[in-house]
Structure 1
Amino acid sequence: MLIISRALITFRCFNKFTVLRSLNLPRPVISVKCKTTITSIDYSVSSSVARSNWLITNLSKEGKLSQARELFDNLCERDKDVITWTALISGYIRIGLIDEARKLFDRVDSRKNVVTWTAMLNGYIRSDRIEDAERLFAEMPVKNVVSWNTMVDGYMQNGMVDKAFEVFDEMPERNVVSWNTMLTALVQCGRVEDARALFDKMPKKDVISWTAMVTGLAKNGRVDEARKVFDRMPERNV
């Protein structure tokens, strides 16, 4: 049995029992209005992975890492799954505690999945630790398109355009985000010819692709060309 004491649960657009029902908890004798924060509810509940994950994820997102960590540390190992670990790792990354996130990451062992690896990768990139990101990326046993996009974006953020191209060319699959990441970065660093060549190769374009290309051409004095691209846009935003 796990005692959850003084659970901090924020209600926004829910009625007073929405979250409690989602946790399968009994209704307390307490008056709560919408947009009210519960700060003193004591429950004795059977620990379940779903309940624990819900609480840890939401506490982490709200920056309440001490409460999330306390709950995490009091869970039996059988009541933790990869979502539990990844939620807390992401919480530490969100507030910039990358080394603490890495300690947890190393403890997950064989339970890590591609989401866990990508969360840690993103943490290194957000902290401008590109060399750590490179090492982690090389160690990843499985990569998905989000992992590849994250590494490409990391190189672009650090001005390492050629390295970004290398990773982009190695990608086994690409989505429109992959192409837009490269396109936007090329435009931002003034490599309009490369951006235009990439744009013309794109198998699928969205409004972000078209807008990035139009903006890049216009900012580099190629107004007539920008207008031609603009006129070809299948959809436009404001």
Structure 2
Amino acid sequence: MQPSEAISAEPVHHFARLLSNCIRTNDLKLGRLIHSRLIKTALTFNTFLANRLIYMYSKCCSIEYAQQAFNELSDKNAQSWNTMLSAYSQKGLFEKTFQLLDVMPDPNAVSYNSIISSLTHHGFPRKAMGFFKRMQTQRGNGFLIDEFTVVSVVNTCAGLGALNLLRELHGLATVIGVMFNLVVCNALIDAYGKCVKPGYSYSIFCQMRETDVFSWTSLLVAYIRASRMADACSLFDHMPIRNVVAWTALITGFAQNGEGDKALCTFKEMLEEGIVPRASTYVGVLSSCADIPLIEKGKQVHGHIFRCTCLIDLHNIFVVNALVDMYSKCGDMISAMRLFERLDGKDRVTWNSIINGFAQNGNGVMSLFMFEKMIETDTTPNHVTFLGVLSACSHCGLLPEGFQYLHSMERKYGIVPQLDHYAILIDLLGRKNMLGEAADLIKRAPWGRDNIGMWGALLGACRVHGNLKLARRVAEDLFELEPDNAARYIMLSNIYAAAGRWGDARTLRRYIYDRGLVKETAYSWIEINNIRHKFIAKDKSHSRLEEIKELLLKLVDPMKDAGYIFQIECSYFLVDDAFC
């Protein structure tokens, strides 16, 4: 039978329905049997069925068979080409995609939309934008930019953070008459949110003729990205439908903005509403427990996952990584290590969590050991990995090794050291009383001269080692960078007091008072039996104050025996903070 011969519509529709079922159920085995039957009945010459066959294979992740069906089709139409083009691009096979596009008789808007969308999805927004510009040059050849083009390129702009291009596209959507299309509006709300412009997102939301759950959720996330949590909460309260995505977004938003208590309360409300959490929900909640940190709450969440998710989420790598991170930050390295060892398919985040966990908890030797194990597994480290490695060196006093790791970052792994990496070595040099070397390193570090954290660490080291001369120079730099930070002036006054320079100390304290500078109140807290105890300097309101004072007095002798030296020589100024 030749392609031009007429074929009865009945078998065509029958096989089309069968192929649709294969696509819906992802049944490759049945699809292959249908393909065999089509070959025997010569129906592979039918362009409509051949196109469905190509599409079925692409959806069943069998690109080779899709390509075979495409090559066997002699009478290809635009849909044939676009289906194969989409199959390649969606799988990230862009070399084959571009080769096919070059030989395609008449590429159209569908062709370019597919490529732009796939490039953006696979993390190539700049290449996607290049294809959009190429598409625009073809508009004179009958190309029509439609709502699908707008949505694809809007997502590309969001990936690039290209606000000006996004505005231009917003205008183009208005010109071509798709501005009030629901999908276009939702994409614009989301894109402006990713560019941290929630005001624009809200403006579009207010102009929409109809909204759906995605509209509300996109605006919610836009507010959260801009740290406008009050607006996010207000919007959340007015949402007609609050699905698991919205709840998870709010929980994650609180966690990312340092409001862990609110994240935990929101999670509790979510469960009371009968909403079933996703893996991403647990990640947000565990992140809150890690950052506060609240190990008892974290254990409760861990137990909830164990009881309520049929163990599926306990094998989800994102959830396990969050659990390892939570236990590490809460100081329970035994539990963290137990989860780490049970996890198959560890990724870089898993290794980073355990390496940084040991470093943060003072076990530098184990942290460096885990780093070597990570390298043995051919897992590539990143800048977060080296924060843990350098912290481990600092805790162990391994100065030469610390500099070796710092130099290996760029030389061996192509990672440019950041200020945080230099800051750890500044701290290490400070501990070693190598203050001059620390000052030199700050000056050599990229943008180090303007880094408040590094100069602050060096000033603290000057106080510990009583280096008044360097302390004054460092403090002068800090006063220029932070003229209104009372803590820097107070630290220098304490250094003066420790050196017996009482007049200079009083002068500096008077300067603080005259300028009206106020030191931000610091506090410490501990959670015992799910009750949080908060302590502020000079606060006498705690119900068990006398017990605490009695215990502190009992600790004095053991602290002295352990080698701790009390800085009583400057105690007058250390306690005289009332007017600051």
TM-score by length of 1: 0.76
Residue 164 of structure 2 is aligned to residue 71 of structure 1: no
Which residues of 2 match residues 40-189 of structure 1 at below 5 A? 40-43=137-140, 44=142, 48-59=146-157, 61-62=159-160, 63=162, 64-76=165-177, 80-109=180-209, 111-171=210-270, 172-189=275-292
User: Per the alignment, do residues 87 and 20 of structure 1 end up closer, same or farther by CA in structure 2, a change over 3 Å counting?
Assistant: farther
CA contact (8 A) 1:49 1:80 kept: no
Structure 1: which 5+ runs fail to align?
Answer: 1-10, 26-33
Instruction: Report the RMSD for the aligned CA atoms in angstroms.
Output: 3.1
Report the counterpart of residue 303 of structure 2 in structure 1: 200
More divergent stretch after superposition (55-64 vs 88-97): 55-64
Q: Percent identity?
A: 20
Per-residue CA deviation, residues 83-120 of structure 1 (Å, 9 max, x unaligned), is 111112222222222212211111014x1111111111
User: Per the alignment, do residues 215 and 236 of structure 1 end up closer, same or farther by CA in structure 2, a change over 3 Å counting?
Assistant: farther
Per-residue CA deviation, residues 132-174 of structure 1 (Å, 9 max, x unaligned), is 0011111111122111100111122223233222321232221
CA contact (8 A) 1:86 1:116 kept: yes
User: Per the alignment, do residues 104 and 201 of structure 1 end up closer, same or farther by CA in structure 2, a change over 3 Å counting?
Assistant: same
Give me the whole-angstrom Cα distance separating, in 1, the residues matched to 2:326 and 2:144.
57
Per-residue CA deviation, residues 62-88 of structure 1 (Å, 9 max, x unaligned), is 5221331121111336x7421111112
Give me the whole-angstrom Cα distance separating, in 2, the residues matched to 1:198 and 1:215.
14
CA contact (8 A) 2:290 2:330 kept: no
Give me the whole-angstrom Cα distance separating, in 2, the residues matched to 1:210 and 1:45.
49
Give me the whole-angstrom Cα distance separating, in 2, the residues matched to 1:45 and 1:68.
17
Give SS of 1:201's match: helix
1:21 to 108, 114, 120: 108
More divergent stretch after superposition (130-139 vs 156-165): 156-165
Report the counterpart of residue 212 of structure 1 in structure 2: 322
Q: Which structure would you say has the larger Rg?
A: 2
Give SS of 1:23's match: helix
Report the counterpart of residue 228 of structure 1 in structure 2: 338
The structure with more helix, counted as a fraction of residues: 2
Give SS of 2:137's match: coil
Letter in 1 for 2:293: G
Give SS of 1:174's match: coil
More divergent stretch after superposition (201-210 vs 48-57): 48-57
Structure 2: which 5+ runs fail to align?
Answer: 1-88, 113-127, 348-580
Higher relative contact order (CA 8 A, sep 6+): 1
Letter in 1 for 2:231: D
Report the counterpart of residue 7 of structure 1 in structure 2: none
User: Per the alignment, do residues 47 and 230 of structure 1 end up closer, same or farther by CA in structure 2, a change over 3 Å counting?
Assistant: closer
More divergent stretch after superposition (220-229 vs 166-175): 220-229
Report the counterpart of residue 30 of structure 1 in structure 2: none
User: Per the alignment, do residues 208 and 24 of structure 1 end up closer, same or farther by CA in structure 2, a change over 3 Å counting?
Assistant: closer
Say how many residue pairs are matched. 217
Give me the whole-angstrom Cα distance separating, in 2, the residues matched to 1:173 and 1:84.
30
User: Per the alignment, do residues 41 and 48 of structure 1 end up closer, same or farther by CA in structure 2, a change over 3 Å counting?
Assistant: closer
> Alpha-carbon deviation of 1:49?
3.9
Give me the whole-angstrom Cα distance separating, in 2, the residues matched to 1:54 and 1:221.
45
Give me the whole-angstrom Cα distance separating, in 2, the residues matched to 1:87 and 1:175.
23
User: Per the alignment, do residues 48 and 211 of structure 1 end up closer, same or farther by CA in structure 2, a change over 3 Å counting?
Assistant: closer
TM-score by length of 2: 0.34
> Alpha-carbon deviation of 1:216?
3.2
More divergent stretch after superposition (11-20 vs 57-66): 11-20
CA contact (8 A) 2:302 2:323 kept: yes
CA contact (8 A) 2:258 2:291 kept: no
Give me the whole-angstrom Cα distance separating, in 2, the residues matched to 1:49 and 1:221.
52
